[in-house]
Amino acid sequence: MLAIILTFDPVYWLILGVGLVLSLWASARVKSTFARYSQIRSRSGVTGAQVARAILQANGIHDVTVEPVPGALTDHYDPRSKTLRLSEPVFHSDSVAAVGVAAHEVGHAIQHATRYAALQFRSAWVPVAGFGSGLGEILILIGMGMAAFSGSMTLAWIGLALFATTTVFTLVTLPVEFDASKRALVTLQHSGVLVDDELAGARTVLNAAALTYVAAAAASLMQLLYWAFLILGSSRRE
């Protein structure tokens, strides 16, 4: 019955719609920004792969492998295998966008090497969030449905706590990503790989990329608040 009610709840669909719009807008923004600055070659002429290796070496990190990975905007650092994977448009390119993205990913490798607290927490939280995201909403719906007969909202609150693990993950991701970008820009400036307007371009690319994480956190937080208010409302009626 509750699932049927949610089907016609305009607030529920409004929240999902806002989250979807934010996600699509952020994705379009990062793609267009990356495409724009991919057309601007850096004066230094170094590629994303070369920048990544140089920054790693400058920070005394010699056990991280830098390798290309298929796709666009698929760049990431894998702390389990200590592998920095750069998308082919970044790995082989000497554009301002490529250099900025490569330096950002190296920022994560530096975080890992220096045991940056937020990154350690996020890595440890991944399995918790994965479990909570799949089970949380199901338990909320079952718990609220059963409350009509048992009078207890305990199961619904457990479901909310599990769903909250996903929100926590999206929120802790923000300082991790912002810190990686800050490290990247400082390194690029001090090394002279990018200068003046190039540095501003790289900052624009990284800021656009950060919007995707902000959008994800906002969408998850809105959903969490929706479920919390729904459970509280049902509790009062019970």
Local structure of 9: helix, strand or coil: coil
Cα–Cα dist 143/160, whole Å: 10
pLDDT in tens, 185-232: 999 999 889 998 999 999 999 999 999 999 999 999 999 999 998 888
Cα–Cα dist 75/86, whole Å: 4
- The 10 Å CB-count burial string (b at 16+, else e) for 175-184 is ebbbbbbebb
For residue 7, pLDDT beyond 60: no
Mean pLDDT of the chain: 91
Nearest to 179 by CA among 213, 132, 134: 213
Cα–Cα dist 9/12, whole Å: 5
For the chain, what are the domain ranges? 2-237
Cα–Cα dist 159/130, whole Å: 14
Strands 76-78 and 65-69: unpaired
> Which residues, listed in sequence order, are joined to residue 116 by a DSSP beta bridge?
none
Query: Which pLDDT score is estimated for 4?
Result: 46
- The answer to whether 209 and 101 have CB atoms below 8 angstroms apart is yes
For residue 181, pLDDT beyond 90: yes
The answer to whether 137 is a known catalytic residue is no
As a whole number, mean pLDDT of residues 27-51 equals 95
For residue 3, pLDDT beyond 80: no
149 Cβ neighbours under 8 A, 6+ residues apart: none
pLDDT in tens, 67-120: 999 998 999 999 999 999 999 999 999 999 999 999 999 999 999 999 999 999
- The answer to whether 212 and 23 have CB atoms below 8 angstroms apart is yes
For residue 15, pLDDT beyond 90: no
- The answer to whether 22 and 70 have CB atoms below 8 angstroms apart is no
Q: Which of 67, 88, 105, 137 is catalytic?
A: 105
